[in-house]
Amino acid sequence: MSLILDLSINVLKSICMRTGARYKASCIPISTHNGGQLLWSDEIWYLGIYVTAGFKFCCSLSHAKKTFFRTCNSIFGKTGRIASEETVVHLLKLKCLPCLLYGAEAIALNKSQLNSLRFAVNSVFRKLFDRKSHVTACECVEYLNCSVVELVNRRKMTFLIKLMNVQSTLSYLS
């Protein structure tokens, strides 16, 4: 048995996912009036954020970390050891960290997710400064203002200030 929706849905661009207490329960296929069927998935991509099926709302950071490492490796590959560390850090801040932190201001990151992001940044700094010590990398990250927690908090604060300004503008107009 399949459920028929009387909506115009592009089955190539649409996907279904369950969240909540019964997220693991199997679902019947959903058919459109054209006869196409919507696929079920454990992960969806929406506005650049990967949302995963689960008991609670959760986002996957694995794609952001892959993009971050790919961008970092591209910079390391192009600059090699020719560019100064200051130049490479500037490029990392400008090009790589936004890939890693995209959308972080709009979602609630738990402690393990923040640690995962912190580990990714520390790994890149260990490679950049050719250090094996995790402690040294952490100190470099803090000194060069690349702390993930501080960057996420700063992005959240900016996001909330902009949101308040939009809401105050809307209330002024009405």
In the predicted model, what is the mean pLDDT of the chain?
88
What confidence tens digit (pLDDT) does each residue in 63-122 have?
999 999 999 999 999 998 788 889 999 999 999 999 999 999 988 899 999 999 999 999
User: How many angstroms separate the CA atoms of 76 and 139, rounded?
Assistant: 21
User: How many angstroms separate the CA atoms of 36 and 91, rounded?
Assistant: 46
- Which residues are CB-contacts of 15 (< 8 A; sequence separation ≥ 6)? 38, 39, 40, 41, 44
Could you tell me the pTM of the whole model?
Answer: 0.80
Among 14-23, 100-109, 163-172, the least confident range: 163-172
- Which residue is it, tokens 């900016």? 158
Please answer whether residues 149 and 118 qualify as being in contact, where contact means their C-beta atoms are separated by less than 8 angstroms. yes
Domain borders along the chain are: 3-58, 61-169
Of 47, 50, 48, 99, the closest CA to residue 73 belongs to 99
What confidence tens digit (pLDDT) does each residue in 114-139 have?
999 999 999 999 999 888 888 888 88
Instruction: Please name the helix (run of DSSP H) or strand (run of DSSP E) that holds residue 90, with its range, or none.
Output: helix 85-91
